[in-house]
Amino acid sequence: MLENNSFVTTAGTGYQGLFDPNIQFLFPSAPQTGLNGRIADVRVGKMLGGSSGMNGLQVHRGQKEDYDRWASYFPGNSGSSWKWNNMLPYFKKAWHFHPPSSDLAAENNITYDSQYWGMTSNIHASWPTEMWPFVSE
pLDDT tens by residue, 85-122: 999 999 999 989 999 889 888 888 889 999 999 999 98
Taking residues 26-35, what's their average pLDDT?
91
User: Is the per-residue pLDDT at 59 higher than 70?
Assistant: yes
Q: What percent of the chain has pLDDT over 70?
A: 70
Q: Is the CB of residue 82 less than 8 Å from the CB of residue 74?
A: yes
pLDDT of residue 7: 56
List all residues 6 or more positions away from 112 whose beta carbon is below 8 Å from its beta carbon. Answer: 99, 100
Mean pLDDT over 54-78 rounds to: 80
Per-domain boundaries in the chain: 1-58
Q: What is the pTM of this model?
A: 0.58
